[in-house]
Structure 1
Amino acid sequence: MATAKQRGTLTLAELCEELQISRSTFYDWRAKGRAPRCLKLPNGDLRIRRADFERWLNALEDAA
């Protein structure tokens, strides 16, 4: 079975590790509409498309 990274998506844990943030920070950003777009799987888990993550990062860079 392919991992999330192999499918071009990140798990929430992978995203938090990459950004060096806690899950609670991610959920706070998400509640405020500041997090990258997420996919909600039928089991409730979240995935973030790598392309959406990269666009989100680029938008932050442009705004800085």
Structure 2
Amino acid sequence: MPGKGATVATARQPKLLRLPEVLAELDMSRAAFYRMRARGKGPRVVKLPTGGIRIRRADLDAWLATCEELAA
């Protein structure tokens, strides 16, 4: 049993991807990703208090699905 105040990961928590994971999956450079975001064309991101970003797996998948539809 976890101690008081401990958090337990559950299946309900969304998978948060780090930027290098996303860049590898998209085969994209960091600069290209930030240019795309600046144009409002990228996936939704979660901004952390430290200034870093994370991307929810579901948001990346949804964004990729819209890219498929636009190309069809």
Fold-level match, TM-score > 0.5? yes
1:12 aligns with 2:22: no
Distance in 1 between the 2:20 and 2:51 partners? Answer: 14
Counting aligned pairs with the same residue, the percent is 49
Can you give the 5+ residue segments of structure 2 that lack an aligned partner in the other structure? 1-8
1:49 aligns with 2:56: yes
Distance in 2 between the 1:28 and 1:19 partners? Answer: 14
Can you give the 5+ residue segments of structure 1 that lack an aligned partner in the other structure? none
Distance in 2 between the 1:19 and 1:56 partners? Answer: 12
1:25 aligns with 2:27: no
Distance in 1 between the 2:56 and 2:16 partners? Answer: 4
Count of residue correspondences = 60
1:59 aligns with 2:66: yes
Q: Tell me which structure has the larger Cα radius of gyration.
A: 2
